Amino acid sequence: MSPDPLSTIPFEHERVLITTGPRSGLVISVAVHSTKLGQALGGARVWHYENWTDAVADSLRLSAAMTLKNAAAGLNRGGGKAVIHLPMGTALSDEQKRDAMLDLGDAVESLGGVYMTAEDVGTSAELMSVVAERTKHVCGLPPEQGGVGEPADATSEGVHASILATLDALYGSTDVVGRHIVISGLGQVGGRLAKRLAAEGATLTVTDVNMGKKDLAESIGANWVEVPSAHTIHADLFVPCGLGGVLTSQVIEELGVRGVVGAANNQLAEHSGAGQLAARGILWAPDFVVNGGGVIYLDMAMRPNADAAAISARVTQIGDVVATIFRDSAEKGITTLEAAEQLAAARLDAV
């Protein structure tokens, strides 16, 4: 029997709500890891899991990562996450999606404002507008409804800046022309990255669990491979942009690249993976720093008189933070994960 996923996660959270939506009948988990820096901010994920406990475990992991992400990004925001469990093989109708979002809104509202939700995997700006019918503690609504829209552009921008910083650390140049980059996951962020990197002259190998993404690969001249073999391709960078946990011990041993930098949350299946990557001489840009562009956008765009140029400049600075983490890692003889965690911890400890 496999271990209980909840038993493998240190419980350091302030609050966790687990409820069954009265309309949808789906299990909803809302995890608030920390409000030390301010109201917790993190997206709402709708995904398939073998068991509802797997979904709860994911909310715990993801909310803890959001605390690090928001702290490292310099935001006055804590970490939280909502996860709605879909049983395997379940497909929601539009009406069922609406019911699930209304249930999510009630769950968020019941927490009294300690957590603000937003779109994530399996949700969208349009679905967040449904959540907004039940709570004001939601952001990323469609612009036509007075919201700031989805943050995928900003997330992609931050990952791109991190890719340039990683190339510079590895090769002494940010030029992507001719660099072979493998992108796993062509969703909202991965798809944007692939188009941009192809236009900039990179050689791309791409993959996605959705075979329909092959059309995108063909349109940008990228080579398509199957998901299980993507990480074994000999290239300059591996860019994971799907779900978390991709960097298992076996995958790390099989990697055929010099660096890993991507948008996926919780890429390391185990904390020790950071040391394993370093031992193989593979430079890893910590995910919670790399993919911080989305929360930076949401936080800054909601402020009065938000300045688009200032937001873009702040997101691009993620590349500078990644470069600093690389330098700290080398100078202190620690992993890039430890360097990034120290950066976030310093901000939390300063409060």
Query: Do 135 and 223 share a domain, yes or no?
Result: no
Q: How far apart are CA 4 and CA 52, in angstroms?
A: 11
Largest CA distance in the chain: 56
Which residue, among 317, 345, 331, 10, has the nearest Cα to 160 in the 3D structure? 317
Are residues 254 and 326 located together in one domain of the fold?
yes
Rounded to an integer, what distance in angstroms lies between the CA atom of residue 159 and that of residue 30? 27
Same domain, 92 and 136: yes
Whether 273 and 335 map to the same domain: the answer is: yes
Same domain, residue pair 162 and 282: yes
What's the number of domains the chain is made of? Answer: 2
Q: Indicate whether 293 and 328 sit together in one domain.
A: yes
Helical (H) or strand (E) element with 273? helix 273-279
Q: What are phi and psi of 40, to 5 degrees?
A: -65, 140
pLDDT, tens digit, 9 for 90 and up, residues 258-295: 999 999 999 999 999 999 999 999 999 999 999 999 99
Report the percent of the chain where pLDDT is more than 90.
91
pLDDT score, position 1: 39
The CATH code of the domain that includes 101 is: 3.40.50.10860
Q: Does 58 lie in the same domain as 176?
A: no
The answer to whether the CB of 33 falls within 8 A of the CB of 66 is yes
Whether residue 141 is found in the same domain as residue 190: no
Do 137 and 221 share a domain, yes or no?
no
Residues 38 and 169 reside in one and the same domain:
no
Say how far apart CA 260 and CA 114 lie, in whole Å. 34
CB atoms within 10 A of CB 153: 17
Q: Let me know how long the chain is.
A: 351
Q: Based on the fold, state whether residues 122 and 192 are members of the same structural domain.
A: no
Residue 190 pLDDT grade (very low, low, confident, very high; cuts 50, 70, 90) = very high
Which residues are part of the catalytic machinery? 81
Q: Which of 126, 145, 164 is the last residue of a domain?
A: 145
Residue 218 lies in a domain: yes
What are the tens digits of pLDDT across the range 81-132? 999 999 999 999 999 999 999 999 999 999 999 999 999 989 999 999 999 9
The per-residue pLDDT for range 209-230, each reduced to its tens digit, is 999 999 999 999 999 999 999 9
The 3-state secondary structure of 65-97, one letter per residue = HHHHHHHHCCCCCEEEEEEEEEECCCCCCHHHH
Domain limits at 97? Answer: 5-67+78-145
Same domain flag for 207 and 88: no
